[in-house]
Amino acid sequence: MIFANIGLIVASKMVGNRLNFAISKFKTMSTKSKVALVTGGSRGLGRNMAINLAKKGIDVVLTYNSNKEEADKVVAEIQSLGQRAAAFQLNAGDVKSFDNFLKQVTAHLKDTNGNTNFDFLINNAGTALYSPFAETTEEQFDNAINIHYKGVFFLTQKALPFINDGGRIINISSGLARFAYPGSSAYGSMKGAIEVLTRYLAKELGARQIGANVVAPGAIETDFGGGRVRDNKEINDYVAAATALGRVGLPDDIGGVVAFLCTEDARWINGQRIEVSGGVNL
């Protein structure tokens, strides 16, 4: 009887140990960080988005066009927050390079996470185009549309097999898709196209529980467009006067909104345009 009781105790401990191991493994799996891919994440708004995503406990893969040094600084900052990060070069307007780019990204994810998938795609990369409608050249137009529309369309399409069901797509637009300033007809109309595309993505990807939304910043103090809004006092004052909250936007005004849209609290927001502009031109 004594030996039988000892056997029962040993067996009970073995079952308990196995159960604890299973629970521990489940916790590890369930708390595994999600992953966001942020294009144009080495500077300006993209950098701020990447940092805010990391603060939400999300790992980040970011892209840069030419400045690897700045991208590496963002990677280091994300890692200092306890999240994984990596940077890859990408020309967001070169559709032919997308297959190779995604091959690099998914190989990295396979090595670090054990699978090739990610959860959030933030299409942020972009360049400025300030030119009156009557003077905009076909070359300027083609360069801009490759980055701001064609590139977004086909990078998203090619990334779809690697976006987890239940993931999110966030496209960055502009206040210039709602109101008009002379000199921004090409840029503003391309951002308008992105907003329509986003609604189609929300509709067509709903079966996979993938949400798609637009974040449309107003004028922000960054180096975008050569720092035009940040460094030109006349433009800065003009925008501030037209804004209900009385100032020009800062990167910190935008990054947190993008990060929020990648949380469970935002799970029921879908197919929406969220303008983050302080109330400009109301």
Q: Which residues contact 89 (CB under 8 A, 6 or more apart)?
A: 63, 64, 65, 66, 68
Exactly one of 34, 149, 191, 277 is catalytic; name it. 191
Q: Is 187 a catalytic residue?
A: yes
Q: 10 - beta bridge partners?
A: none
Tell me how crowded residue 112 is: count the other CB atoms within 10 A of its CB. 13
Exactly one of 34, 42, 64, 174 is catalytic; name it. 174
Q: Give the Cα separation of 262 and 271 in Å (integer).
A: 14
Exactly one of 64, 185, 187, 189 is catalytic; name it. 187
Q: What is the DSSP string of the chain?
A: -HHHHHHHHHHHHHHHHHHHHHHHHHHHHHTPPPEEEETTTTSHHHHHHHHHHHHTT-EEEEEESS-HHHHHHHHHHHHHTT--EEEEE--TT-GGGHHHHHHHHHHHHHHHHSSS-EEEEEE---------GGG--HHHHHHHHIIIIIHHHHHHHHHGGGEEEEEEEEEE--GGGTS--TT-HHHHHHHHHHHHHHHHHHHHTGGGT-EEEEEEE-SBSSSGGGTHHHH-HHHHHHHHHTBTTSS-B-THHHHHHHHHTTSGGGTT--S-EEEESSSBT-
Exactly one of 42, 173, 184, 277 is catalytic; name it. 173
Q: Give the Cα separation of 33 and 155 in Å (integer).
A: 23
Q: Is 191 a catalytic residue?
A: yes
Query: Which residues are annotated as catalytic?
Result: 173-174, 187, 191
